[in-house]
Amino acid sequence: MEMAMRRIIFLAVLGLIFGAESLAGMDWGFSAGANICVLRQEEVRDIYGAGFPVGVQAWTGSKNWIVSAGFEYLFERGHALPLDGGQDEFPLRLRVTSIPVTLFYQVWIKDIFLAVGGGASYSWYEENWEDLDIIVKGQKLGPLISFLGGYRFNARWSIFANVRYDPMPTGKSSLLVREVKLGGLKLTAGVMFTL
């Protein structure tokens, strides 16, 4: 399953980067936005709170189908408490870099667009326990689903809002959970520019 998702991401990114000539009849654009990550795994939320990743995306499509590939970055600080109920706090730093790739089906109602899509996100993460000199890092592929809506001001500029479920699984367990998931439900707002 993970190998198939890696192939899908690889092919989508190649299509976006190298397919400009063969896809000349398609629309191309870029978007940027700010996110808030809510409904995270309780144990992650207790340490880091809500996450605030930022990201950019390139997208292309024709008629009702759109493919997007993006880059997201999340940096957070948090504190872990001992399981025995002691008073010590352990400061933590978390960095997550993700490449989400999504295939959307889009419909237009005048200048309003609505889209639903699914895909995968490949994430690299690093958690640093500052006082203990412990670093936990890895990379993992995970699924995502997305609902997008926006308004087109003119042929070039649009605003959008996106609701995306991206669990960002780590494949690792802790004393508290069987599998740590750094993501969750992401709410995004931003701007799009069409070439």
- Residue 9: the pLDDT is 64
Report the Cα 60 to chain-centroid distance in Å: 18
Question: CATH code at 65?
Answer: 2.40.160.20
Is the pLDDT at 175 greater than 60, yes or no? yes
Indicate the pTM of the whole model.
0.79
Q: How many residues does the chain have?
A: 195
pLDDT value at 150 more than 90: yes
Which pair of structure tokens corresponds to residue 71?
């880059």
Domain count within the chain: 1
Q: Token pair for residue 111?
A: 């200048």
Helix (H, G, I), strand (E, B) or coil at 44: helix
- The mean pLDDT of the chain is 84
SS3 (DSSP) at 117: strand
Which residue type does 157 have?
A: W
**How many helical (H) and strand (E) elements, i.e. helices and strands, does the chain have?**
2, 8
The three-state secondary structure class of 3 is helix
Span 135-151, mean pLDDT?
A: 92
Question: What is the rounded CA–CA span in Å between residue 58 and residue 107?
Answer: 19
CA–CA dist 37, 29 (Å, integer):
25
Range of 134's domain?
A: 2-194
**Nearest-angstrom CA–CA distance, 115 and 106:** 4
88-107: pLDDT as tens digits: 788 889 899 999 999 999 99
9-26 residue pLDDT tens: 666 666 655 554 555 556
- The confidence band for 173, taking pLDDT boundaries of 50, 70 and 90, is confident
